[in-house]
Amino acid sequence: MSKASTPVDHALFEFIARTTIQEDDLLRSLREAAAREGLPEIHIAPEQAAFLQLILRAANARTVIEVGTLGGYSAIAMARGLPANGRVITHELDPKHAAFAEQWIERSDQRGKIEVRVGNAVQTLPSLADGSADAVFLDADKPGYVTYLQHAMRLLRPGGILLADNVLADGEVSDPKATSTTALAIRRFLAAVQATVSLRSVIVPLGDGCLFGVKDE
């Protein structure tokens, strides 16, 4: 057994992205339109989108709760991993991001499967019922992740899946000298994840790092 992992440098990451599922025309157009309209370019990477979609498909997920919609890139990608009666309930603070997402969801093949809830997720998540989600994807403000983790553990059914973006904090997570708000928030989040006894998880180093966890049955 190999003890060492293969170091993945930029060139190898580029190779992984190239050889993973191709982005389709709709998601590419959405990404380009979002950049033109001044939305921040912080959507998940296409290879992460493929990963999320395949995880949901493999788990036969039907109901997914997302925190942090932005332009709807990840919501549409995840909806494609769900059956026809599947549902993504996605939460977005910024009305401009939500309006952009709703417009693109409507013109996508996934219209009818995605609902955008506008407002601070801290206020909008409590209305969702305990155990109602097969999966939860966290991708909003990083200082909120610990609170969103508490909601996720309440919302997930036994055996449900927790996913969270940016757990490498741009590479700062393991750098003891890094004290950015994001680095501190992600370290607090990962400590809270490890302290959650009913959750098993790994970090998948795609994009800026994707936490993948399963709530105990």
Note the residues at the interface with ligand SAH (CB under 6 A): 42-44, 68, 70-71, 73-74, 91-94, 97, 120-122, 139-141, 144
The answer to whether residue 166 forms part of the interface with ligand DHB (CB under 6 A) is yes
Q: Is 6 exposed, middle or buried (0-12, 13-18, 19+ CB in 10 A)?
A: exposed
Task: Classify strands 210-215 and 199-204 as parallel, antiparallel or unpaired.
Answer: antiparallel
- Give the length of the chain: 217
Tell me whether residue 92 or residue 165 sits nearer to Mg ion (CB atom): 165
Residue 86 or residue 98: which is nearer to ligand DHB going by CB?
98
**Partner whose binding site includes residue 114, from Mg ion, ligand DHB, ligand SAH, none (CB under 5 to 8 Å by kind):** none
Site for ligand DHB, residues 59 to 78, rule: CB under 6 A: 68
- Residue number, 22 or 120, with CB nearest to ligand SAH: 120
Q: Are 189 and 132 in contact (CB under 8 A)?
A: no
Alpha-carbon gap, residue 81 to 180, rounded angstroms: 34
Using CB under 6 A, which of 133, 208, 209, 213 touches ligand DHB? 208
Binders of ligand DHB in range 21-60 (CB under 6 A): 42
DSSP 43-68: SPPHHHHHHHHHHHHHTT--EEEEE-
